Amino acid sequence: RSFAAESSRAYQNGPLEPSFYREPSSAFELEDSSLPSQYGRILDWFTVDLEGEHSAMDGRILEEHTEYVVYAIHRILDQYKESHLARSKDGVRSTGNLPSSVMLVGHSMGGFVARAALVHPGLRKSAVETILTLSSPHQYPPVALQPSLGHFFSHVNEEWRNGYKKGVSHTSSPKLSNVVVVSISGGIHDYQIRSRLAALDGIVPSTHGFMVGSSSVKNVWLSMEHQSILWCNQLAVQVE
């Protein structure tokens, strides 16, 4: 909700001054840099409710969550199409293009589920091209209580490695060639997901993704506990 609220604020009031987003190297750069007075389009936010299931305990639960997220992505995209057709029948002129993809934002295990959805065989091509994860484990589960959890992590990560490799024929682009991943870790105050778990090394090439600690983000000087990364406004403003 914090990210959605900040997104709405940015759309209604326009972006903050340039110096808030980056530190210019010279006075000329500050004067020369420009931001629009208002963003051109507002983001629609949708939330996946997994009903508090303990996904960090069992790989089979993660698989079910992945299936649900894939279904939700397709339903959201279809809903835009259905709305467009209904407006056309009523003679209402639609502006802009229909969305063909969504961005995924996932917290904790939700970030890994987002990545799992990208390599799910049922996901439509190019349905997702951007993923942002917050305090999410990517290398391996924080606690592997069930063998299925470790197996699922290994399977998904191997699919991601293969997704950036070119085929033998070199005639087609890699499956994940258009996908970008940003992983934000909470830092030293996140005792549940350490930064080494949130790293993307060996999974996503540096050309398509990176991991950054929250306190390394511009104008964010706090490391964050596992839950507070969701609502800390210092980070929310920068992400949006």
Residue-wise pLDDT tens digits, 77-92: 999 888 888 877 777 7
**Highest-confidence range of 17-21, 111-115, 165-169, by mean pLDDT?**
111-115
- Region 4-10: mean pLDDT is 62
- Domain containing 160 equals 57-239
Cα distance between residue 141 and residue 193, in whole Å? 9
Pick the closest to residue 189 from 212, 170, 214, 220 (CA basis): 214
> Does one domain contain both 161 and 207?
yes
Given a cut of 70, is residue 97 above it in pLDDT? Answer: yes
DSSP-assigned beta bridge partners for residue 134: 107, 184
> Does one domain contain both 74 and 177?
yes
Tell me phi and psi for residue 182, to 5 degrees.
-120, 125
Is 206 inside a domain boundary?
Answer: yes
Q: What is the number of structural domains in the chain?
A: 2
Catalytic residue among 7, 55, 108, 183: 108
In the β-sheet with 102-107, what is the strand arrangement from edge to edge? 102-107, 128-134, 180-185, 209-213
> Does one domain contain both 139 and 172?
yes
> Does one domain contain both 23 and 87?
no
Given a cut of 80, is residue 172 above it in pLDDT? Answer: no
Is 52 inside a domain boundary?
Answer: no
Query: Could you tell me if 234 and 221 are in contact, meaning their C-beta atoms sit under 8 angstroms apart?
Result: yes
Higher pLDDT, 170 or 101: 101
> Does one domain contain both 222 and 141?
yes
> Does one domain contain both 122 and 19?
no
Cα distance between residue 20 and residue 14, in whole Å? 13
Is 50 inside a domain boundary?
Answer: no
> Does one domain contain both 7 and 120?
no
Is 103 inside a domain boundary?
Answer: yes
Q: Which of 10-14, 170-174, 194-198 has the lowest mean pLDDT?
A: 10-14
Please, how many CA atoms are within 13 Å of residue 91, restricted to the half-sphere of its CB? Answer: 0
Is 51 inside a domain boundary?
Answer: no
Query: Could you tell me if 23 and 54 are in contact, meaning their C-beta atoms sit under 8 angstroms apart?
Result: no
> Does one domain contain both 148 and 67?
yes
> Does one domain contain both 35 and 118?
no
Query: pLDDT of 31-54, one tens digit each?
Result: 444 545 555 567 788 988 877 777
Mean pLDDT of all residues belonging to the chain: 83
> Does one domain contain both 110 and 219?
yes
Eight-class DSSP state of 191: S
For this structure, is 108 an active site residue?
Answer: yes
Is 76 inside a domain boundary?
Answer: yes
CA 52, 79, 182, 35 torsion-angle sign: negative
Pick the closest to residue 198 from 180, 184, 181 (CA basis): 184
The whole model's pTM is what? 0.82
> Does one domain contain both 37 and 132?
no
% of the chain at pLDDT higher than 90: 50
Question: pLDDT-derived band of residue 3, with 50, 70 and 90 as boundaries?
Answer: low
Is 156 inside a domain boundary?
Answer: yes
CATH at residue 227: 3.40.50
DSSP per-residue string spanning 75-109: HHHHHHHHHHHHHHHTTPPP-SPPP--EEEEEETH
Query: Could you tell me if 230 and 222 are in contact, meaning their C-beta atoms sit under 8 angstroms apart?
Result: no
Query: Could you tell me if 131 and 179 are in contact, meaning their C-beta atoms sit under 8 angstroms apart?
Result: yes
Is 204 inside a domain boundary?
Answer: yes
Distance of CA 113 to the CA centre of its chain: 10
Query: Could you tell me if 226 and 133 are in contact, meaning their C-beta atoms sit under 8 angstroms apart?
Result: no
> Does one domain contain both 173 and 111?
yes
What is the token pair recorded at 82?
């259905």
Higher pLDDT, 201 or 236: 201
